[in-house]
């Protein structure tokens, strides 16, 4: 799994099914599940030509549908979500891959919004894949781009696309893009603004999207530690965030690790009552909700 051999094997099986059907030897015409399974193999492949093969397969599916007339080969939302995954795996330093992700997303939105093809309805997975690709990248302006995709996700949901309902993963991924922003003062300042805007949006709409969890707080604390210059103001903000984390019952060891690295030791002792970052040192009420929701 992850190598070229697995994907090539899936491709060979798919092509054999098509040949057997074309020669009327056996009726084993590939359906959308068959094509998407092969595409998923290429998406997970570490082969250098994986993206080329994935794009070629999607084009082949289109041709099978529009030219050959195989209605079961028509690409669907899973097809494009898988293609997004393929590009997302290679997006960390590849601006062309990130641009292609935006093109795929825009194409899906256009087909769905125009009524041309409602099966191209972008889902939460679609938007999450795109946001996460930018969050993991090292390109300039990634926090702003991740925020813009989240805004598109919210608009789609507000317009009636219930499959695109924003979730905790989407908000936390945007915050993650902020936390790992590198650049000049202007870019870090923009990342800070986006960080707070995204966190406040999540908290204000907790009944719709789900409130912050321990991963959200870890991301927020890390971002404040790394993006803000050392100062009393930063320390006070971090302490207020931790107090909110306590109130939400989302304190775990990783939260304490980040907190200890972000505050002077005396402040850490004062706010936690201990030097320890062990699980046993965390009051039960502080961690009551840590395992009650799915992790992001």
Q: Does the pLDDT value for residue 2 go beyond 60?
A: no
On whether the CB atoms of residues 259 and 241 are closer than 8 A, the answer is no
On whether the CB atoms of residues 251 and 245 are closer than 8 A, the answer is yes
* Rg of the chain in Å (alpha carbons): 23
Instruction: Say what the pLDDT of residue 21 is.
Output: 80
Concatenating the DSSP letter of every residue in 52-96 gives HHHHHHHHHHHHIIIII--GGG---HHHHHHHHHHHHTT-SS-HH
Instruction: Say what the pLDDT of residue 295 is.
Output: 42
Instruction: Say what the pLDDT of residue 296 is.
Output: 41
Q: Does the pLDDT value for residue 113 go beyond 80?
A: yes
- For residue 216, give the nearest of 148, 276, 99, 295 by alpha carbon: 295
Digit-coded pLDDT (tens) for 258-280: 999 999 999 999 999 999 899 88
On whether the CB atoms of residues 120 and 112 are closer than 8 A, the answer is yes
Digit-coded pLDDT (tens) for 184-239: 899 999 999 999 999 999 999 999 888 999 999 999 999 999 999 999 999 999 99
Instruction: Say what the pLDDT of residue 4 is.
Output: 61
Digit-coded pLDDT (tens) for 55-80: 999 999 999 999 988 899 999 999 99
* pLDDT band, residue 53 (cuts 50/70/90): very high
C-beta atoms surrounding 186 within 10 Å: 8
Q: Does the pLDDT value for residue 131 go beyond 60?
A: yes
Quick check: pTM over 0.85?
yes
Q: Does the pLDDT value for residue 26 go beyond 80?
A: no
Instruction: Say what the pLDDT of residue 90 is.
Output: 83
Q: Does the pLDDT value for residue 112 go beyond 80?
A: yes
Q: Does the pLDDT value for residue 136 go beyond 60?
A: yes
């Amino acid at each position: 799994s992850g190598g070229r051999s697995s994907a090539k094997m899936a491709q060979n099986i798919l092509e054999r099914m098509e040949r057997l059907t074309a020669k009327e030897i056996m009726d084993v015409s590939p359906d959308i599940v068959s094509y998407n399974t092969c595409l998923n193999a290429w998406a997970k492949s570490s082969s250098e030509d994986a993206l080329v093969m994935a794009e070629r397969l999607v084009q082949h599916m289109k041709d099978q549908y529009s030219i050959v007339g195989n209605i079961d080969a028509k690409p669907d939302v899973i097809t494009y979500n898988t293609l997004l995954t393929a590009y997302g795996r290679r997006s960390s330093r590849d601006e062309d891959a990130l641009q292609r992700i935006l093109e795929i997303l825009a194409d899906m939105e256009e087909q769905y919004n125009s009524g041309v093809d409602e099966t191209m309805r972008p889902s939460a997975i679609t938007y999450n894949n795109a946001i996460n690709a930018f969050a993991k990248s090292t390109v300039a302006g990634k926090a702003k781009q991740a925020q813009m995709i989240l805004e598109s996700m919210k608009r789609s949901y507000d317009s009636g696309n219930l499959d695109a309902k924003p979730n905790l993963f989407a908000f936390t991924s945007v915050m993650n893009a902020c936390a790992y922003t590198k650049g000049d003062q202007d870019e870090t300042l923009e990342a800070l603004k986006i960080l707070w805007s995204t966190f406040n949006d999540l908290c204000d709409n907790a009944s719709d999207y789900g409130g912050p969890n321990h991963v959200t707080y870890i991301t927020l604390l890390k971002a404040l530690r790394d993006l803000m210059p050392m100062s009393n103001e930063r320390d006070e903000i971090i302490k207020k965030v931790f107090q909110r984390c306590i109130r939400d019952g989302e304190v775990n060891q990783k939260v304490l690790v980040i907190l200890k690295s972000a505050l002077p030791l005396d402040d850490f002792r004062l706010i936690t009552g201990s030097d320890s970052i062990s699980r046993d040192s965390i009051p039960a009420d502080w961690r009551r909700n840590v395992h009650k929701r799915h992790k992001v």
